[in-house]
């Protein structure tokens, strides 16, 4: 009997170790990792609801005075009327007498869904944007490079741009803020589908109905019904299917607003002049940021609740794009104040905001508000997510820690960022600047 008990005592840890080993086998891990993450999130969120986490800026100056005044709009030239015809060509230049765009357009694309991997929305949409132009690849080609770890929660638009520049010869892209439905229709009518990042409300892995960021690939529109046609990588099967989904213009804008109406156009380099002509004033990155700021200022005065929060956040993002960091900080300060005041809408608080957009870090950092950078990163990494796996938050916290003299903490954060995103250049560069190995 004693021998049997001894065998059982030995067998239990051995079996446990074997289970761990099996779990980390690639075929098993890829199928079960998301379930482990789901369980971890459910446990943490039960005891620490993420929508109750509120960041309170401590270093803002004259906030009450500034937000009581109307934010000064940047002067911008009137936008010319730009129309185009199909198909695209390198020498095409739209003329003032071009015929109106068609009332219905639906481009043919190769649909890809994001399932089978964690948070694979970006690789799936980026792949669709490239395969439309004949690129011979899939999400499985892009994913390991822009999102080398399942822990990585989001891929930023600039990471798509960097991927194309490095790995897809003959192709390029443009990223702008402040887009609108007319622009999307104009680009699609000319044969150029558009990737946008927008917010959606879904039941997440923790079983909570909440706000998430999501990419959409706009490939058509219908003027008679007032709808855009887009590819939704989140809905691969059943009804509604993810391919060629339809959404009303106004409803689309409601989600797009939370990302400052950002859009990405992917296209062959040979069509550069065509794309710039179709973009019109948006071809100028500074004009686009100023236009986005004007839209945000208007919406911040007209909207209420969570939409007003998004508008003020967008004002900060636009100011940041214009390198006006002090103004950006003020706008973000007020956005966070509005966020804290959403007491009756806690379930709608977009607590994942800093998972996808990092403008506040940059604005506070370049305004010398290092403690606010650290406090915002701490709130994001410890209170809004089940484990601290946001490389951008780790990086900016490291930057602020270094400026405050805590070099060891900065090095630890840079290295932690590289565990989430191996090979990530900002973290590697930061360590190299300190003369430290990754």
Return d(Cα 392, Cα 232) in angstroms, integer.
26
User: What values do phi and psi take at 342, rounded to 5?
Assistant: -80, 50
Average pLDDT score over residue span 213-229: 97
Up-side HSE of residue 170: CA atoms within 13 Å toward CB?
A: 5
Whether residue 129 is predicted with pLDDT greater than 80 in this model: the reply is: yes
Q: Name which residue leads in pLDDT, 23 or 243.
A: 243
Return d(Cα 118, Cα 149) in angstroms, integer.
9
Whether residue 351 is predicted with pLDDT greater than 60 in this model: the reply is: yes
Confidence of residue 338 (pLDDT cuts 50, 70, 90): very high
pLDDT at res. 80: 34
Confidence of residue 10 (pLDDT cuts 50, 70, 90): low
Listed range (51-65, 178-192, 247-261) with the worst mean pLDDT = 51-65
Confidence of residue 117 (pLDDT cuts 50, 70, 90): confident
pLDDT at res. 17: 59
pLDDT at res. 203: 76
Return d(Cα 154, Cα 130) in angstroms, integer.
19
Confidence of residue 49 (pLDDT cuts 50, 70, 90): confident
How do residues 61-89 score in pLDDT, each as one tens digit?
544 444 444 344 333 433 333 333 333 43
Q: Which two tokens stand for residue 347?
A: 């379930």
Confidence of residue 19 (pLDDT cuts 50, 70, 90): low
- HEC string of the chain? CHHHHHHHHHHHHHHHHHHHHHHCCHHHHHHHHHHHHHHHHHHHHHHCCHHHCCCCCCCCCCHHHHHCCCCCCCCCCCCCCCCCCCCCCCCCCCCCCCCCCCCEEECCCCCCCCCCCCCCHHHHHHHHHHHCCCCCCCHHHHHHHHCCCCCCCCCCHHHHHHHHHHHCCCEEEEEECCCCHHHHHHHHHCCCCEEEEEEEEEECCCCCEEEEEEEEEEEEEECCCCEEEEECCCCCCCCCCCCCEEEEHHHHHHHHHHHCCCEEEEEEHHHHHHHHHHHHHHHCHHHHHHHHHHHHHHHHHHCCHHHHHHHHHHHHHHHHHCCCHHHHHHHHHHHHHHHHCCHHHHHHCCCCHHHHCCHHHHHHHHCCCHHHHHHHHHHHHHHCCCCCCCHHHHHHHHHHHHHCCCHHHHHHHHHHHHHHCCCCHHHHHHHHHCCCCC
Average pLDDT score over residue span 358-363: 98
Whether residue 344 is predicted with pLDDT greater than 60 in this model: the reply is: yes
pLDDT at res. 36: 57
How do residues 239-293 score in pLDDT, each as one tens digit?
568 899 999 999 999 999 999 999 999 999 999 999 999 999 999 999 999 999 9
Domains in the chain (CATH in brackets) are: 2-47 (no CATH), 50-72+289-433 (1.25.40.10), 104-283 (3.90.70.10)
Whether residue 6 is predicted with pLDDT greater than 70 in this model: the reply is: no
Q: State pTM to two decimals.
A: 0.83
Looking at every residue in the chain, the average pLDDT score rounds to 85
């Amino acid at each position: 009997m004693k021998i049997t008990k001894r065998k059982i005592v030995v067998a239990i840890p051995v079996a446990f170790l074997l289970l761990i080993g099996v779990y980390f086998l690639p075929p098993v891990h890829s199928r079960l990792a998301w379930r482990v993450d789901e369980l971890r999130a459910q446990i943490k969120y039960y005891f620490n609801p993420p929508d109750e986490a509120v960041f309170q800026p401590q270093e803002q100056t004259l906030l009450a005075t500034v937000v009581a005044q109307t934010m000064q709009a940047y002067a911008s030239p009137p936008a010319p009327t730009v129309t185009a015809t199909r198909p695209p060509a390198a020498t095409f230049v739209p003329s003032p007498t071009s015929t109106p765009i068609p009332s219905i357009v639906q481009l043919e694309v190769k649909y890809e869904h994001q399932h089978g991997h964690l948070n694979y929305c970006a690789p799936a949409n980026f792949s669709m944007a490239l395969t439309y132009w004949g690129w011979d690849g899939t999400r499985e080609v892009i994913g390991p490079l822009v999102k080398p770890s399942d822990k990585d929660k989001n891929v930023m638009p600039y990471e798509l741009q960097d991927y194309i520049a490095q790995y897809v010869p003959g192709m390029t892209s443009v990223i702008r803020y402040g887009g609108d439905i007319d622009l999307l229709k104009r680009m699609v009518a000319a044969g150029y589908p558009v990737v946008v990042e927008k917010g959606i409300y879904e039941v997440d892995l923790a079983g909570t109905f909440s706000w998430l960021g999501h990419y959409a690939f706009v490939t058509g529109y219908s003027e008679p019904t007032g709808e855009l046609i887009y590819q939704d990588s989140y809905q691969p099967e059943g009804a509604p299917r993810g391919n060629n989904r339809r959404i009303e213009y106004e409803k689309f804008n409601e989600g797009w607003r939370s990302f400052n109406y950002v859009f990405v156009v992917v296209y062959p380099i040979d069509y550069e002049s065509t794309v710039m002509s179709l973009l019109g004033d948006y071809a100028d990155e500074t004009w686009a940021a100023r236009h986005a700021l004007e839209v945000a200022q208007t919406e911040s005065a007209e909207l209420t609740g969570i939409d007003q929060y998004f508008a003020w956040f967008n004002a900060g993002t636009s100011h940041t794009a214009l390198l006006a960091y002090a103004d950006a900080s003020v706008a973000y300060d007020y956005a966070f104040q509005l966020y804290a005041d959403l007491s009756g809408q806690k379930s709608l608080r977009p607590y994942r905001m800093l998972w996808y957009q990092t403008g506040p870090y940059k604005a506070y950092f370049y305004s010398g508000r290092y403690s606010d950078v650290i406090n915002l990163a701490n709130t994001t990494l410890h209170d809004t997510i089940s484990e601290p796996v946001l490389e951008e938050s780790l990086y900016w916290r490291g930057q602020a820690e270094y400026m405050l003299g805590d070099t060891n903490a900065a090095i630890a954060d840079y290295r932690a960022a590289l565990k989430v995103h191996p090979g990530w250049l900002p973290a590697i560069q930061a360590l190299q600047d300190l003369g430290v190995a990754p």
